[in-house]
Amino acid sequence: MSSVPESLRPRRPVSPLELFYDLVFVFAVSQLSHHLLEHLTWRGAAETVVLLVAVFGTWAYTSYEATLLDVHRSVTRWMIVIVMGLGLFMNAAIAHAFDDRAWAFVVPLLLILFFAGAVTALAGRTDALREHFRRTLFWMAVSAPLWIVGAAADSGPRLWWWAAAALVDLTGTWLAHPLPGRTLSSQELAFDAEHMIERLRLFFIILLGETVLTAGRVMTDAPVDVPSVLAAAGVFTALVCLWAAYFGGGEDVFTTVAITTDPVRSVRLGVNSAYVVLTALVALAVGSELVIAHPLGHGSPTLALLLFGGPALYLAATGWFFRATAHGAWTERLLACSACVLAGVAAVRLPPLASLALLDVILIVTAVVLARAHQNLAHSLQTATNA
């Protein structure tokens, strides 16, 4: 059991300020999708992933910190507002971060990381919490020089410097920022896991919503004919199915996962999987835009990779999270992921509209199967919890 007294485990709903903060990252996802669309090469994909790790890292760190500090405290609210303003400038520079706005991206990024981390290291309610964020600041200090050198370098080598910095930040997040000889059990942290799980779920909805906006934006420029309308309807169907594959029948699963003896671990695994989910949705957004713009065009490896690789990554990441936390509803996702991979190979020679129809069939079946699997899993988890 957790060693944290019940009185130190706050439980509260997601606040309007936190939802307001999340809106800054709707803009970020749009910028990331646009960057990938404008640079449909392996280098462009690598640049998008590096920027994505940096941007989502700021969301994850700040959301963790707001949850740990309690958003009703004035220091937490001011931290969120300041980070939100810095994030707006950072996200505005995404499109040209590898051109002439490297410093416009890096300076707000580092200010966010060090400011929010320092606030939590000083204002944390417990010694364990303050110690954890002192370790976090150490990891940030390791990656900061790499971000700075990359911003000063030419656009060619900048990718390598920033990729190294993003790898350090990502490794720290995945491993919970360990230091040699200094261990911290996550069970010692007072943490509202139900709140943070809800933050993640709402953030996923925002990400799906951004893909809807992308589709809508392309529809305004597409001709009003049967192929374009069918393509737009197919993209909408795919998004609804991806929503259902994560949320359909699974509400009680998330509630049970959040009240385990080590809730911080469950949330950390959720954040780790969210990096991949965000990558998947950016890829799908770009693929959807290409299909709606040219529904009767020629298939290509690039389109197949975006259109089927995005959902495959989405299903693989959420399957890993379900397996690691709830120990169920992951085999169905693995099978659906495999179906997407096989269909993606065939889609290289199919017209975009036919590829989208094939994707919809896979996702509709997946959503129906997972709705039932979630209900069964929630019932078994609840039974085990009450036993």
Q: How many other C-beta atoms are found inside a 10 Å radius of the C-beta of residue 311? A: 28
| Topology (CATH level 3) of domain 193-386 | I/LWEQ domain (1.20.1410)
Among candidate residues 225, 227, 217, 189, the one with its CA nearest the CA of residue 353: 227
Concatenate the DSSP letters of all residues of 294-315 into one string: -TTS---HHHHHHHHHHHHHHH
327: DSSP letter: S
Ranges of residues in the chain with a pLDDT under 50 are 1-9
Q: What would the two tokens of residue 236 be? A: 């909408």
How far is Cα 32 from Cα 283, in angstroms, rounded to an integer?
10
Q: Which residues contact 41 (CB under 8 A, 6 or more apart)?
A: none
- Give how far the C-alpha of residue 379 lies from the chain's centroid of Cα atoms, to the nearest Å: 27
pLDDT at 308: 97
- CA-based end-to-end distance of the chain: 15
Domain locations along the chain: 11-188, 193-386
pTM score of the predicted model: 0.89
14: DSSP letter: P
How far is Cα 177 from Cα 268, in angstroms, rounded to an integer?
11
Concatenate the DSSP letters of all residues of 172-194 into one string: HHHHT--BTTB---GGGS---HH
